[in-house]
Amino acid sequence: MARLPRLSIPGYPHHVSQRGNNRHPICLSDGDRERMLALLQEHAGKQQVAIHAYVLMDNHFHLLATPETAEGLPAMMQAVGRSYVRYFNDRTGRTGTLWEGRYRSTVMETERFLLACMTYIDLNPVRAGMVHAPGDFAWSSHAHYVGQRIDKLVTPHPFVWTLGNTPFARESAYAALAQGGLSADQAAALTDATLRGWALGSEPFLADLQRQTPRRLQQTAPGRPAKARKTATP
């Protein structure tokens, strides 16, 4: 069965994940991470993609981003991926692919999942046992949202303003949100939707989104559709 094309719909937040081939490291030093962030900033600007959140792990990274055009996100990821592989291979004396296939992504309903996705991204290093709290990890957007530093890569989504009326209120609310963590159901939904490429949201959201793309947004039931029964002729 042919792979479905990725969802890339302008104006909606997308959760993006890219992993190293065979789970091998993609970043071996702080310099590698700085290069990755610089490439993301450069090509996000060129392709009109707003990056709301990110985390750079040793063997993969996550982004939460909103493209202004349907081509923006794929073009950004392709440019970043190619440029970074050239840099990394030249620096380490390796050859060949660095990535485990194409990147994974999902489109999500802002009101239901945007803040949950930001928390999911922040908690990656905590789940991996690298740090005790998201604020202890330097290579994510968490510090930007809790007021510890200004990150030029980050463009906050307008929905973040619902956390409070002042910067301090928003920073405090977001810190509490990240500290509270996610439910198992939320984490599983974000992981599954991103890996499988299905859209994530309520039925009304999915119905509205489906009117904007011919691509299927949800997994259909297994098996062939049932045939309509014939009506007996009297």
Report pLDDT digits (tens) over 168-207. Answer: 999 999 999 999 999 999 999 999 999 999 999 999 999 9
pLDDT, one tens digit per residue, over 148-173 is 999 999 999 999 999 999 999 999 99
Residue with token string 């409070």 = 164
CB neighbour list of residue 164: distance below 8 Å, 6 or more residues apart:
170, 172, 173
Beta-bridge partner residues of 19: 60
| Helix, strand, coil percentages, rounded to 5, for the chain | 45, 15, 40
Output the pLDDT for position 194. 93
pLDDT, one tens digit per residue, over 119-140 is 999 999 999 999 999 999 999 9
3-state DSSP assignment of residue 84 = helix
Output the pLDDT for position 29. 96
Residue 3 has pLDDT above 80, yes or no: no
Q: How many CA atoms lie within 13 A of 221 on its CB side?
A: 3
Q: Which amino acid is at 202?
A: S
Domains of the chain: 14-204 (3.30.70.1290)
Output the pLDDT for position 234. 34
User: Whole-number mean pLDDT of the chain?
Assistant: 91
In this prediction the pTM is 0.90
Confidence of residue 218 (pLDDT cuts 50, 70, 90): confident
Pinpoint the alpha helices (H) of the chain. 30-46, 72-92, 110-122, 124-127, 142-145, 167-180, 184-196, 203-210
The two tokens of residue 20 are: 């190293």
